[in-house]
Structure 1
Amino acid sequence: GYVYDIYGFTPVSDDIEASSHGSDFGFESILKFDPEVLFVIDRTAAVGGQSNIEADMENDIIKKTKAYKNGKIVYLDGPLWYLAGGGLQSEMMKIEEILDELK
């Protein structure tokens, strides 16, 4: 996706199927790939549900990842990433959000 193109990130695997709605990974899969940066979008919060994603990510498996150890778990705005259209303004907001989080 364009997150890789714009920011120069390298996917942790070429075997992960591209999706416009993210990937459904278990914590063990995340540890297996051990990413340096982990982008998290909470679909539940995006559709108005009760979010526990940050608490869910505070577990012994995720704590072993490079992303956790280096403070590079990035929680992106669910409604912006799931519900906003692909217009210029929303895309610029997404870009700014990632830039702000990675400072």
Structure 2
Amino acid sequence: MSDGNTIESVMDEVRRFPPPKEFSEQAHVKSLEQYQKMYEESVADPEAFWAKMASEELHWFARWNNVHSWDKDNAIIKWFEGGKLNVSYNCLD
């Protein structure tokens, strides 16, 4: 018998808890619809999506040459090769 207090019942959570309106208005991603649109763009064309995000959201001292390159045989992934930024500048500005 299940009384609803088992670990399995807790792991099957489907309720949604929308944030307060004031919080959403200040958020970078303001709605679930906006998030879903961004997700779809990122899956459809990851290189264009991440180039756009990097250009809009970060200050670069030198722009990158390639958004990403990867060598799946050696599990090597490189992002924004040739680009120069200062993480603390982006975090504090």
> RCO greater where, 1 or 2, for CA within 8 Å and sep 6 or more?
1
Q: Please state which band the TM-score falls in when normalised by the shorter chain.
A: under 0.3
For the pair shown, the structure with the greater C-alpha radius of gyration is 2
TM-score, normalization: structure 2?
0.24
